């Protein structure tokens, strides 16, 4: 300390333009300098220690692997630590000097947690888990459940930083990303047989919440029971049949209503603009709605008159997909809806779509009874109905 | 006996398929099981090339230039071509002549797709098969019988395509293919797993000579799963080591 004071005084004497500080002020500056240096040294040593512990640059982990400070209440406690069995994982039994680990971290963990060997051998594995269990878990005790070093959401987002704006800033939010178990409502953070570490295929996951009629959305609106809907309506839209809800919805959050990935008309009528149907045209052929006449693009045609074009492609009051089709499932072929809304009193006029060998008919609803034939009569006899 | 069991299985599978909900198919005019007529179409590289080959598996895809899902699909198929290199697989991609050749070429190049690219003049093949979605992948066997028509999926798409190809190449069984199409949920926890974990912990404690705590944990294991035979055996060993053999017999 004296050396520092001398050095400080020496510097002062060399600069005669600066008025000397009073003795108390000099002491304050010196103490502050010493504290700053000590802080820097501590931070550097912590950094070196963490590197030495094999921690890869995972952004958000704090607290290291040491037990919580004595007296702090832990939310979860590892049985060997609680039992003082340091020697089961460390070379020494002494809790004050446990020494190095007996084996690599994951090998030690799997000695008891054998089921996780199986999970991390699945087709899709979480790199953080295969690298080291300690990336997410404290092997002694923790402030969070399952010995996690942070709450699930914060922990996941500390590496998956790109997900934060999607889940928190999206115009349409999905409660599943923040409520209950957050990310692990849908993902298994160790390993799965489904891409993106999903616990199961999207539909099977979604109906765990959307398979009952009590669920409300972020804005408090009642949501459909999709399990019931699909069970009662045998004609399923492709993605629904393939259990791929994420084909149309973004489960993390979206800019479009109902968590849709892209634009899709929310009303019965819309002026035709391909951008309005961006979601549909990811899979469905856009030209079906842009060619007035065709012999190949659609079977919903009368001879060569393209009836999809006729219904949809209008500058004013074009019928949108939902005018005729159910987007998830329907009772009628091609997911043609049961009926269309009429008036302001909630009336539904039945469409009664009837497929025939060479086309189909609709009963009097939007227009008079109309039928269509999409191929010559001689070919129709051998064709499949209504396609 | 075995034959009758097989017949029962076949009937059961047929019944399940018959009553399964119908889904929007990739092809409206060709069902799985139909033989696809082979046609020669103008190729992007010049001349005419067949849609299907004489390989054990034929994979063809209808795609649309500039469409994200088509690009993803072609990229995945390009990867599969390398993965299945040297195996009996014929690959082809089909695009309508409604699109500009330069756009088709650009998409194919962006995907790194180095296979036969065919041009469907006047959407003739598109109309004949009733292609409903883009992209749609058709997979046939050696006899050109359609075994799968796959539309784009965001999840497990590559696994499903690869699974069908490998199944046709007889690299995986039908049961394995079903596992890929309907993967088991990756659930964690449960009493059985907890019981096993406690047992492993008890074993380590027993090895460390901590008999009382080993007994405590093996009993916790048995509380979770009373039928865990290995836990019963360990319990007896611990009791014997504690000189309480009489209790272990009980």
What are the residue boundaries of the structural domains of chain B, listed by start? 22-181, 191-249
Gap between the Cα atoms of A361 and A190, Å rounded: 53
Query: Are residues A114 and A136 both part of a single domain?
Result: yes
Gap between the Cα atoms of A95 and B3, Å rounded: 65
B195-204 residue pLDDT tens: 999 999 999 9
Of A106, A125, A149, which residue constitutes the final position of a domain? A149
Q: Is the ipTM of this complex over 0.90?
A: no
Tokens 């849609």, residue? B51
Query: Are residues A304 and A215 both part of a single domain?
Result: no
Of A233, A259, A285, which residue constitutes the final position of a domain? A259
Query: Are residues A276 and A363 both part of a single domain?
Result: yes
Question: What would the mean pLDDT of A86-108 be, rounded to a whole number?
Answer: 94
Query: Are residues A127 and A171 both part of a single domain?
Result: no
**At A372, which helix (H) or strand (E)?**
strand A370-373
* Residue A246: closest C-alpha in chain B: B154
State how beta strands A235-236 and A318-319 pair: unpaired
Query: Are residues A372 and A328 both part of a single domain?
Result: yes
**Phi/psi at B238 (5° precision):** -65, -45
A387 vs B29, B67, B134: nearest CB: B29
Is A69 a member of any domain?
Answer: no
Query: Are residues A253 and A323 both part of a single domain?
Result: no
Is A22 a member of any domain?
Answer: no
Is A87 a member of any domain?
Answer: yes
Question: What pLDDT, on the 0 to 100 scale, is given for residue A4?
Answer: 37
Q: Is the distance from CB of A117 to CB of A110 less than 8 angstroms?
A: yes
State how beta strands B40-42 and B48-50 pair: antiparallel
B24, A112: Cβ pair inside 8 Å? no
Tokens 């005669």, residue? A16
Of A259, A291, A313, which residue constitutes the final position of a domain? A259
CATH fold of B191-249 reads 1.25.40
Paired tokens of A363: 């009963």
Is A71 a member of any domain?
Answer: no
A201 vs B124, B183, B188: nearest CB: B183
Question: What pLDDT, on the 0 to 100 scale, is given for residue B189?
Answer: 81
Residues 6+ apart with CB under 8 A from A154: A60
DSSP state of B243: T
CA atoms within 13 A on the CB side of A7: 7
B126, A111: Cβ pair inside 8 Å? no
For residue A283, the chain B residues in CB contact (below 8 A) are 69, 133-135, 151-152
Tokens 């067949």, residue? B50
Confidence of residue A221 (pLDDT cuts 50, 70, 90): confident
Query: Are residues A315 and A373 both part of a single domain?
Result: yes
Furthest CA-CA distance within chain B: 89
For residue B65, the chain A residues in CB contact (below 8 A) are none
B151, A242: Cβ pair inside 8 Å? yes
Query: Are residues A275 and A361 both part of a single domain?
Result: yes
A237, B24: Cβ pair inside 8 Å? yes
Q: Is the distance from CB of A170 to CB of A158 less than 8 angstroms?
A: no
Query: Are residues A273 and A336 both part of a single domain?
Result: yes
Paired tokens of A286: 């856009």
Question: What pLDDT, on the 0 to 100 scale, is given for residue A115?
Answer: 86
**Contact status of B18 with chain A (Cβ, < 8 Å):** no
Q: Cβ–Cβ contacts within 10 Å for residue A206, how many? A: 20
Alpha-carbon gap: A284 to the closest alpha carbon of chain B (Å): 5
Question: What pLDDT, on the 0 to 100 scale, is given for residue A2?
Answer: 42
B183 vs A83, A193, A295: nearest CB: A193
A115, B21: Cβ pair inside 8 Å? no
**Contact status of B164 with chain A (Cβ, < 8 Å):** no
A330-382 residue pLDDT tens: 999 999 999 988 888 888 989 889 999 889 999 888 888 999 998 765 444 44
Chain B interface, best mutation among A87, A115, A186, A298, by max B CB count within 10 A? A115
If contacts are CB pairs under 8 Å, which of residues 66-125 in chain B contact chain A?
67-69, 98, 122-124
B196, A234: Cβ pair inside 8 Å? no
B14-67 residue pLDDT tens: 444 333 445 556 788 899 999 999 999 999 999 999 999 999 999 999 999 999
Gap between the Cα atoms of B27 and B22, Å rounded: 13
Alpha-carbon gap: A50 to the closest alpha carbon of chain B (Å): 28
Tally A–B CB contacts below 8 A.
145
Gap between the Cα atoms of A18 and A5, Å rounded: 17
If contacts are CB pairs under 8 Å, which of residues 30-69 in chain B contact chain A?
64, 67-69
CA atoms within 13 A on the CB side of B231: 25
Is A325 a member of any domain?
Answer: yes
Q: Sort residue A268 into left (φ over 0), alpha (ψ -120 to 50) or beta.
A: alpha
Q: Is the distance from CB of A357 to CB of A381 less than 8 angstroms?
A: yes
Which residue, B24, B29, B25, B26, is CA-closest to B129? B29
DSSP sequence for B40-91:
EEEBTTSSEEESS-SSSEEEEEE--TT-HHHHHHHHHHHHHHHHTTTSSEEE
B151-168 residue pLDDT tens: 999 999 999 999 999 999
- Domain hosting residue A82, numbered range: 76-149
Q: Cβ–Cβ contacts within 10 Å for residue A159, how many? A: 18
**Phi/psi at B50 (5° precision):** -75, 150
Is A14 a member of any domain?
Answer: no
Q: Which residues pair with B137 in a beta bridge?
A: B61, B150
For residue B67, the chain A residues in CB contact (below 8 A) are 281-282
* Residue A200: closest C-alpha in chain B: B185
Paired tokens of B208: 């460390």
Query: Are residues A230 and A143 both part of a single domain?
Result: no
CATH fold of B22-181 reads Glutaredoxin (3.40.30)
Is A211 a member of any domain?
Answer: yes
Q: Which residues pair with B194 in a beta bridge?
A: none
**Phi/psi at B201 (5° precision):** -65, -45
The domain tally of chain A equals 3
């Amino acid at each position: 300390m004296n050396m520092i004071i001398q050095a400080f005084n020496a510097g002062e004497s060399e600069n005669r333009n600066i008025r000397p500080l009073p003795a108390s002020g000099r002491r304050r500056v010196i103490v502050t300098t010493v504290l700053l240096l000590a802080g820097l040294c501590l931070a550097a040593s912590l950094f070196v220690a963490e590197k030495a512990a094999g921690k890869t640059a995972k952004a958000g982990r704090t607290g290291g692997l040491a037990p919580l400070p004595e007296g702090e209440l832990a939310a979860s406690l590892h049985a060997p630590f609680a039992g003082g069995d340091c020697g089961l994982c460390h070379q020494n039994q002494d809790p004050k000097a446990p020494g190095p680990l007996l084996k690599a971290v994951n090998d030690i963990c799997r000695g008891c947690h054998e089921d996780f060997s199986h999970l991390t051998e699945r087709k899709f594995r979480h790199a953080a888990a295969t690298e080291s269990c300690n990336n997410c878990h404290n092997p002694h005790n923790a402030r969070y459940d399952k010995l996690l070093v942070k709450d699930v959401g914060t922990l996941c987002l500390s590496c998956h930083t790109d997900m934060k704006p999607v889940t928190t800033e999206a115009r349409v939010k999905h409660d599943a990303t923040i409520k209950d178990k957050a990310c692990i409502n849908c993902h298994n953070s160790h390993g799965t047989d489904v891409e993106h570490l999903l616990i199961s295929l999207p539909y099977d996951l979604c109906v765990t919440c959307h398979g009952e009629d009590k669920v409300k959305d972020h804005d408090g609106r009642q949501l459909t029971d999709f399990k019931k809907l699909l069970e009662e309506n045998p004609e399923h839209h492709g993605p629904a049949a393939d259990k791929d809800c994420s084909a149309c919805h973004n489960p993390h959050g979206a800019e479009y209503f109902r968590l849709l990935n892209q634009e899709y008309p929310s009303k019965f009528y819309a002026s035709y603009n391909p951008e309005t149907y961006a979601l549909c045209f990811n899979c469905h052929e856009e030209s079906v709605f842009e060619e007035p006449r065709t012999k190949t693009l659609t079977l919903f045609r009368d001879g060569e008159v393209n009836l999809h074009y006729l219904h949809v492609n209008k500058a004013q009051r074009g019928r949108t997909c939902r005018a005729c089709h159910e987007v998830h499932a329907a009772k009628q072929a091609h997911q043609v809806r049961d009926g269309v809304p009429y008036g302001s009193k909630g009336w539904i006029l039945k469409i009664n779509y009837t497929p025939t060998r060479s086309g189909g008919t609709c009963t009097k609803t939007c227009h008079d009874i109309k039928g269509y034939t999409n191929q010559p009569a001689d070919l129709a006899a051998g064709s499949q109905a209504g396609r | 006996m075995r034959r009758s069991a097989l017949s029962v299985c076949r009937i059961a599978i047929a019944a399940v398929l018959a009553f399964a909900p119908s889904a929007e198919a990739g092809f409206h005019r060709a069902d799985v099981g139909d033989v696809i007529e082979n046609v020669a179409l103008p190729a992007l590289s010049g001349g005419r090339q067949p849609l299907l080959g004489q390989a054990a598996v034929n994979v063809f895809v209808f795609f649309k230039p500039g469409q994200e899902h088509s690009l993803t699909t072609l990229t995945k198929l390009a990867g599969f071509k390398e993965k299945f290199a040297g195996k009996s697989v014929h690959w082809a991609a089909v695009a309508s002549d409604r699109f500009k050749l330069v756009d088709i070429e650009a998409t194919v190049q962006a995907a790194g797709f180095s296979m036969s690219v065919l041009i469907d003049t006047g959407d003739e093949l598109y109309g004949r098969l009733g292609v409903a979605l883009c992209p749609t992948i058709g997979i046939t066997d050696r006899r050109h019988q359609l075994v799968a028509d796959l539309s784009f999926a965001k999840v497990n798409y590559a696994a499903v395509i690869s699974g069908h190809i490998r199944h046709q190449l007889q690299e995986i069984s039908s049961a394995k293919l079903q596992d890929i199409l309907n993967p088991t949920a990756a659930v964690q926890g449960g009493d059985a797993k907890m019981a096993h974990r406690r047992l492993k912990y008890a074993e380590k404690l027993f090895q460390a000579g901590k008999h009382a705590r080993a007994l405590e944990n093996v009993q916790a294991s048995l509380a979770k799963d009373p039928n865990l035979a290995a836990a019963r055996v360990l319990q007896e060993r611990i009791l014997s080591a504690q000189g309480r053999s009489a209790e272990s017999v009980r």
